[in-house]
Structure 1
Amino acid sequence: MDLQDQLKNLFPDHQPSLEDETQKKEKSKFWVQDEPILCKYEKRKGKPITILEGYQGTNADLKKLAKEIKILLGVGGTHKNEQIIIQGDYRDKIMKFLQENGFKTKRVGG
């Protein structure tokens, strides 16, 4: 017997509201800002990297966002100086992921 069944036994007349469930689904994992996140491409020591700048959330949120992007792509990267640095040129995939999570993005450079 799980928790839902126990609650139904204790409160048989209670009907759960649908609003609570929809609010939980609509809530984003990250703090979404109004300003776009800049997505740049550079080469450092001959190797391509993707740099994300302009995230205005807390440092913990920046760390969480960087981790999600790294897991999604299966690549290495870091977050420092209010930037997320991803190894490789993944601008299109990163921008698509950010837009799906409610962020505005802007592509900078070629």
Structure 2
Amino acid sequence: MASNKISLADWQAKMNPGASKAAPTGDNLVYSTESGRIDNKPQVKAVAEAYADGAVRIRRETKGRGGKAVLTISGIAKPNDELAALAAKLKKKCACGGAVKDGVIEIQGDKRELVEQLLQAEGYKTKWAGG
């Protein structure tokens, strides 16, 4: 009775004959015997998308917030850490609270004029949206 055992490398070569013999380059590779530990740096990508006209939208919202006014600033295509830094700067200048949620900066209170001036000073083109 003959044994049909083959090595893993032979089996993989049999199943995928077009694959090269080079080292695997998958995203889940963490260690290579040739080069040691492999550190894959995560790609920093923007959380939100910019609008087609390039303007940042400043919207006043009260729905679902117990009647309190909140400004939402959307359309800034930056990574989350840069959005958080911009939100912190706006909160300090406006002397109010706020947060960054899903790529949208929320500023507590109705300070549209001040927020618009601050964003324009940062170099953003702004538009008021909503009520």
TM-score in terms of structure 1 length: 0.67
Whether 2:131 is the aligned partner of 1:106: answer no
The structure, 1 or 2, with the larger RCO (C-alpha pairs under 8 Å, 6+ apart) is: 1
Whether 2:122 is the aligned partner of 1:80: answer no
| SS at structure 1 position matched to 2:78 | coil
- Paired position in structure 1 for 2:60: 41
Please state which structure has a larger fraction of its residues in helix. Answer: 1
| 4+ runs deviating over 3 angstroms | none
- Paired position in structure 1 for 2:40: none
For 2:55, give the aligned amino acid: P
Over alpha carbons, which structure has the higher Rg? 2
Whole-Å Cα distance in 2 between the matches of residues 72 and 61 of structure 1? 17
Whole-Å Cα distance in 1 between the matches of residues 122 and 108 of structure 2? 21
Deviations 1:16-74 (A, max 9, x none): xxxxxxxxxxxxxxxxx871110000112111110001110111110000000000011
One of 58, 68, 73 as aligned partner of 2:89: 68
Deviations 1:59-97 (A, max 9, x none): 111000000000001100000110011110011100111
Which consecutive residues of structure 1, in runs of 5 or more, have no partner in the other structure?
A: 1-32
Whole-Å Cα distance in 2 between the matches of residues 58 and 42 of structure 1? 24
Whole-Å Cα distance in 2 between the matches of residues 51 and 35 of structure 1? 17
One of 68, 83, 89 as aligned partner of 2:110: 89
Which consecutive residues of structure 2, in runs of 5 or more, have no partner in the other structure?
A: 1-49
Whole-Å Cα distance in 1 between the matches of residues 119 and 69 of structure 2? 20
